Amino acid sequence: MADEMPIQGKVMDMKTVVAAPEAFDALTRLVDTAGKYVAIHAEESRKREALRTYRDTEIATIRAAEVTLQRYFDEAFLERREVFQSLFRAMDHALETGDTQGLNTVVSGIVDVAKDSPLAAAGDLAKLRAAFDDPNQVWSF
């Protein structure tokens, strides 16, 4: 510390460095920019919440459909019960871990099993399978 040079210079009055109009302009920019930041932050937070709500709604829809389908399979295919239970456990795991590829694979497996069932008569499962394989498919429930 003894070797350090003391700070030298002249203390300047702020008015000589920045004029009042410039300071007011800086204050205006600061307020405007902070306001924009707060608005953008609020909007992005709202979007994230909307996405969480959408995700939760879609998962609830999947789980409700799962219960109905599982009951149907349990009644229609007593001999295949373990296969279906395994597929639905895998689907639950994919949903819990956010594994979209795993979910797609499991649902495709369920569709394949359903093709050879009385459920196949209820609709065109080939179209459903093609929809699952289409990455641009938009699902609405």
In a domain? residue 107 = yes
CB count within 10 Å of CB 93 equals 13
Span 48-58, mean pLDDT? 92
Residue 15 pLDDT exceeds 60: no
Residue 50 pLDDT exceeds 80: yes
In a domain? residue 24 = yes
| Number of structural domains in the chain | 1
In a domain? residue 6 = no
Residue 128 pLDDT exceeds 90: no
Residue 45 pLDDT exceeds 90: yes
In a domain? residue 12 = no
In a domain? residue 4 = no
CA distance 72 to 120: 13
Q: Report pLDDT digits (tens) over 73-115.
A: 777 767 677 788 888 899 999 999 989 899 889 988 888 877 7
pLDDT of residue 39: 94
Residue 141 pLDDT exceeds 50: no
Which residues form the domain of 108? 17-133
Residue 136 pLDDT exceeds 70: yes
- Output 68 or 32, whichever has higher pLDDT: 32
Average pLDDT of the chain, as a whole number:
79
pLDDT of residue 64: 86
In a domain? residue 11 = no
In a domain? residue 3 = no
CA distance 104 to 32: 47
In a domain? residue 138 = no
Residue at token pair 């109009």:
21
